[in-house]
Amino acid sequence: MIKIRVPATSANMGPGFDSLGVALNLYNIFGFREIDNGLSFNGVPEEFCNEDNIVYKAMMKCFSKAGYKPKGIEISTLKQDIPVSRGLGSSSSCIVGGLVGANEILGKKFSQDEILEMAVEIEGHPDNVAPALLGNMVVAVTEEKKIYYQKINVNEKIKFIPIIPNFKLSTNEARKVLPSEISLNDGVYNVGRASLLVAAISNGNLELLKHACKDAFHEKYRSSLISGFYEVKEEIYKAQGLASYLSGAGPTIMALSLNQDREFKVKIQEFLKLKSLDWNVFELSVDKLGAIVLEGDEECKEIFL
């Protein structure tokens, strides 16, 4: 069996709508095997055990591009730690996992950049799939179907604290509340802050992150879909958080704090309990590897459903 581990991602980082994302050390692990015939699933909810499964569709795109038709495919979910429809890249992990798994079956026919281009064709934008595949923080844009990207080294003083609501929010639903056009003022606002964010997060100018993570493109529209959004954001700064932003399409709110701050997570958990908000809080760091093929045995257990 081929085992592929794919990290969670946090996209739309602050002002980086559809262009900035970071890989985090929370993982899904998929298993793949070519079989004699048919399509088989293990550890996958019954509603997804069909040809509409996003992992399978990604695999078939890769096979089709290679001109290869497998006799049959077995897909296994060996570990599912990335929460579904919470803004942490669960769909992107499936897309990247399926493409990399298929490419392994093909004997590594396609390069990493070719896999990335296929992933963006499926996803529609690169901010989640790029860090899921490549690791680290990634700036990525699409031009004439080609992906241009740069990996950014995140300063080691920073840790990521996803504050995860107990409800799902689909990307399609979150897209519907966005305006079809933005003003020049909003465009200038985000361009400046996106540039500042990349510089500050790589150079370690941490006092700038609070200002650099502000957004005018999507947070003010999507916040209406997330009860308690502004209360949680305000508490992040009261607890000495460095910055905050809506992760992906939401509903997860991502906070950045100092690695040495051992009290931040506790303060946020206490606040959530006080407000009767049944949300989860994790402490995560940057995954620098992206999607990898696992060798040998790997412990596979769920920590989040």
pLDDT digits (tens, 9 = 90+) for 252-278: 999 999 999 999 999 999 999 999 999
Q: Residue 24: which CATH number?
A: 3.30.230.10
10 is in an annotated binding site: no
User: How many domains does the structure of the chain reveal?
Assistant: 2
91 is in an annotated binding site: yes
15 is in an annotated binding site: no
- From CA 87, how far away is CA 84, in angstroms rounded? 8
19 is in an annotated binding site: no
Q: What is the mean pLDDT of residues 225-245?
A: 95
76 is in an annotated binding site: no
Distance of CA 77 to the CA centre of its chain: 18
Nearest 5 degrees, angle CA 67-CA 70-CA 73? 140
CB 29 within 8 A of CB 55: no
The answer to whether residue 299 is domain-embedded is: no
- From CA 241, how far away is CA 98, in angstroms rounded? 36
Count CB neighbours of 290 within 10 A: 22
pLDDT, tens only, 140-190: 999 988 999 999 999 999 999 999 999 999 888 899 999 999 999 999 999
Residues 41 and 146 in one domain: yes
- Residue 276: φ, ψ to 5°: 55, 40
Q: Residue 177: which CATH number?
A: 3.30.70.890
180 is in an annotated binding site: no
92 is in an annotated binding site: yes
CB 132 within 8 A of CB 9: yes
The answer to whether residue 301 is domain-embedded is: no
Judge whether residue 235 has pLDDT over 50: yes
Q: What is the mean pLDDT of residues 79-86?
A: 94
pLDDT for the residue 170? 86
Domain range enclosing 262: 158-281
- From CA 261, how far away is CA 240, in angstroms rounded? 9
- Order of strands, sheet of 280-281, starting from the edge strand that comes earlier in the sequence: 243-246, 253-258, 158-164, 280-281
Residues 10 and 147 in one domain: yes
Residues 123 and 183 in one domain: no
The answer to whether residue 305 is domain-embedded is: no
Judge whether residue 300 has pLDDT over 80: no
E strand spans, the chain: 2-11, 20-35, 38-42, 72-80, 137-143, 146-152, 158-164, 243-246, 253-258, 280-281, 292-294
The answer to whether residue 92 is domain-embedded is: yes
Residues 56 and 176 in one domain: no
- From CA 258, how far away is CA 264, in angstroms rounded? 9
* Cα torsion 250, 256, 257, 262: sign: positive
Residues 178 and 102 in one domain: no
Residues 133 and 234 in one domain: no
| Residue bearing tokens 């460095």 | 242
Q: Are β-strands 72-80 and 38-42 bridged in parallel, bridged antiparallel, or unpaired?
A: parallel
Mention every residue, 6+ apart, whose C-beta is less than 8 A from residue 183: none
Amino acid of residue 292: I
Residues 83 and 55 in one domain: yes
The SS3 of residue 264 is helix
Kindly state the tokens that stand for 30. Answer: 């998929």
Task: State the alpha helices, DSSP H only, in 76-176.
Answer: 90-105, 112-123, 129-134, 171-176
90 is in an annotated binding site: yes
What's the pTM value of the predicted model, to 2 decimals?
A: 0.93
The answer to whether residue 300 is domain-embedded is: no
The answer to whether residue 302 is domain-embedded is: no
The answer to whether residue 25 is domain-embedded is: yes
Residues 41 and 123 in one domain: yes
The answer to whether residue 248 is domain-embedded is: yes
Residues 120 and 174 in one domain: no
Residues 128 and 179 in one domain: no
pLDDT, tens only, 56-66: 999 999 999 99
86 is in an annotated binding site: yes
Residues 52 and 140 in one domain: yes
pLDDT for the residue 299? 57
Judge whether residue 304 has pLDDT over 70: no
- Residue 26: φ, ψ to 5°: -130, 130
Residues 233 and 171 in one domain: yes
Judge whether residue 8 has pLDDT over 90: yes
Integer Rg of the chain from CA: 19
Indicate the length of the chain as a whole number. 305
